[in-house]
Structure 1
Amino acid sequence: MRSSQSFGIHFTIRTDKVREGKVPVYACVTVSRLRSYIALKQLVEVKSWDNAKGALKGNREEFKSINNYLQEVRMAIGTCYQQLNLKGKMISAEAIKDAFLGTAKEVHTLSSLFEYHNETAASTLKWSTLKHYYVTQRYLVKFIQKQFKSADLYLHELDYKFIYDFETFLRNHKPVDHQKPLNNNGVMKHIIRVKKMVHLAIQLEWISKNPFANYKLKIQKVNREHLSEKELKTMENKVFDIDRIDMIRDLFVFCCYTGLTYVDVINLKHDNIVEAADGEMWVRTCRQKTDIPVNTPLLPKAVEILKKYKDNQRALLTNTIFPVVSNQKVNAYLKEIAEVCGIKKNITFHLARHTFATTVTLSNGVPIETVSKMLAHTKIATTQIYAKVLEKKISEDMAALRKKLKEVV
């Protein structure tokens, strides 16, 4: 509820509705410069009305009676404002009008929308996805406190300016709990979540207008970093004396040859490795994020790593193929591994999945449809992000062309 709202009541007449020298009287309720008019079903003479005072001028008993009635209305409207305030309700001119007329209906706020979504989506969304909505909600709370000196907003107060100002807030926000400010696409991800919330509110008929109607998302195409063939081989062949570093390297390389994400590989069990009809070993699991099946034949390097961890004592304790280690620690160790291997790229665990898609499969002629299936993508357009023309492929294609041209000569 906003903590610094202006509130006022003024009585006025509608001169455009004059009939036989008389016009209707309205109570004008103003909250933070937004107005709502209440028809009072009182007719007064235009010439007897004092617009500055919002009352009839003169001492006629009829005029005194109407003026007394207007004061009673003023007190009643003021009482509606106070009751809404005491109950902690969001206050607006329309809410006060509804309370006065006895037509008050439930007014939804931005926080109530997020609470409804988070409660209903808990059964359908993975926590890894749902937690991002809580982060967006925290950013919204900070923005509303700073911009409006309030803890919440009515949904009907959302407009284009609100979205644009929230975007500006996110771009200028300097975090104190993590090291980097949001980049453009990070900002857009929060805006997308708010847009989904607004779409839900429209479907629920909690809001009639769409504040995103004229807003355009500004997603920037990013270069999906991956290890080159040379960098991958360097990492594979590097000898590490520290077991924990050696294990993280093996975990990462295994995913470079399978395309699995961190959460899926860390939960991988021996039952997920099967011998298929073709006599080869396959990994069969489901992506935790989407529940979509993953069926990928294991390449020799992946099989070699599996054999290495067949009797790992730490893994046996959790009944998993690899010892369990947090994603945060994995990424920290990967920075050390990259430095030792002389790899200048910013390596995170997800880069292994990119390497599988680009260096291991697509650049070696595996059809994009097959790669998409192994990555468990729902749309082939998602896989096309990785379908870059690499220098290796350009070299091979031009070599084939040179050979062909020589044969013609």
Structure 2
Amino acid sequence: MASVINREINHYEEVAEKIFSQFEKENLIPDKQTFKDAFLKEVRNIETKKEISKESEFLQAYNTFTREMGFQNSWTDATYKKFTTLKNHLLAFNKEISFSALNEDGLNMFVAYLRDDADLRNSTIKKQIGFLKWFLRWANAKGYNDIRDFEIFSPKLKDTEKKVIFLEWDELMKVYNFEFPENKRYLERVRDVFCFCCFTSLRYSDVANLKWHNVSDYYIMITTIKTADTLKIELNDYSKAILEKYRGCSFPNNTVLPVITNQKMNEYIKQVGYVCEINTPINITYYKGNERIDEVYPKYKLLGTHSGRRTFICNALMLGISPEVVMKWTGHSDYKSMKPYIDIADSAKQKAMKLFNKK
């Protein structure tokens, strides 16, 4: 009997810790009743009935949505932040936001607010509306909301495909082999981690979590942080050399490489690009409303941790490696997400073929 009671107590403690962790991710401080409601739902699947105003019902539903979807889909901190940003936009648009305010007219006004007051690009507005529709679909299914105007709501927002920023092979070799001057030696480790991503396709989150037990003589085996895919990625001469450089070194959390915070690494990668003179001009086109905006940047200003994985994919395809093989390394599950990279590779092949046209 005592062992049964102890197991139940341990279960309750685990549930309580899980719920408090969830509220912390949502930047919420629950009152006694809110915690009780969440606890009962988790351990007994009991939905409490509360008398709440129409205005607060929306936020109550929104917080429940982020909590439930976060649990079910193992949201990362970045996903929680995206939905916190959406909630902040909704409250700035209407501090007494309610489901009834999000009929077709209300949705159009919300888009106008995001464009004119929040000063967002059309591409960002599309993402915000996509997140909002996800919540509203959930609210309909749960019985919180019976307004279905959002289902056919599709504002015409001009947009362009997001440009894929990556290092061409000669640029990658320049960065990989660069000898930093004494006053820039602090960039060497960042360069090495970045290049490791360029030679393995690893995301920042995965290289930051890479341990020596993931590494063998010929490959690395990881379960990715973002998608929980288990990937086997063979090593090449460049990735092997970077690993050997840091073998025997001790880093926090027993990681393989000297990985710093994502924010700081993004800042330093731009410095690496600047010092290595990665200055190719890149034109970025985007829209705000009907206004087309063109901005030109030297490539180094657009580099970040995300560029490492993109560099791997683009160069692998341009080297002639089949998309099917590349997808096994990267974990992509369909061609749709690979299409922008395949288009780049095809374009590069056409350009290369023209070299034969010399007179």
Match in the other structure for 2:143? 205
Deviation (angstroms), 1:396: 4.3
The alignment status of 1:191 with 2:129, answered yes or no, reads yes
CA shift at 1:122, angstroms? 2.7
Q: What SS class does the counterpart of residue 162 from structure 2 fall into?
A: coil
- Measured in 2, the distance between the counterparts of 1:323 and 1:370 equals 29
Residue pair 1:334, 1:348 contacting (<8 A) in 2 also: yes
The 2-side partners of 1:336 and 1:389 are apart by: 26
Cα displacement string for residues 154-183 of structure 1 (whole angstroms, at most 9, x for unaligned residues): x23421122222122122235xxxxxx532
* Mean Cα deviation higher: 110-119 or 246-255: 110-119
The gaps in structure 2 that reach 5 residues or longer are 1-50, 279-297
TM-score w.r.t. length of structure 2: 0.72
Percent identity reads 25
Normalised TM-score (structure 1)? 0.64
Distance 1:399 1:338 in 2: 28
Q: Which residue of 2 aligns with 1:224?
A: 164
How many residues are paired up? 280
> Does the aligned pair in 2 maintain the 1:287–1:293 contact within 8 Å?
yes
- Alignment of 1:160 with 2:104, yes or no, is yes
Partners of 1:243 and 1:339 lie apart in 2 by 14
Aligned AA for 1:89? Answer: S
Q: Are 1:318 and 1:324, in contact at CA under 8 Å, matched by a contact in 2?
A: no
Distance 1:220 1:116 in 2: 34
Counterpart of 2:276? 341
Decide which of 249, 256, 271 is 2:213's aligned counterpart: 271
Q: Is the 8 A contact 1:184 1:220 kept in 2?
A: no
1:183, 1:235 → 2: CA distance? 32
Q: Say which structure is richer in helix.
A: 2
Q: Does the CA-based 8 Å contact 2:193-2:259 persist in structure 1? A: no
How much has 1:265 moved relative to structure 2?
0.5
- Structure ranking higher on relative contact order (CA contacts 8 Å, 6+ apart): 2
1:304-383 alignment runs, 5 A limit: 304-313=241-250, 315=251, 317-343=252-278, 344-345=298-299, 346-359=302-315, 361-383=316-338
Q: Give the corresponding residue for 2:120.
A: 182
Whole-angstrom CA distance in 2 between matches of 1:90 and 1:113: 11
Deviation string for 1:172-227 (max 9, x for gaps)?
235xxxxxx53222221111110000110121122223122332264531221111
Output the CA distance in 2 between the equivalents of 1:272 and 1:374: 15
Deviation of 1:305 (Å): 0.4
Conserved 8 A contact 2:193-2:258? no
- Quote the Cα distance in structure 1 between the aligned partners of 2:163 and 2:132: 26
Letter in 2 for 1:185: S
Residue 90 (1) aligns with residue 54 (2): yes
| Partner Cα distance (2:348, 2:136) in 1 | 46
Any gaps of 5 or more consecutive residues in structure 1?
Answer: 1-86, 92-107, 175-180, 276-280, 404-409
**2:131 counterpart SS class:** helix
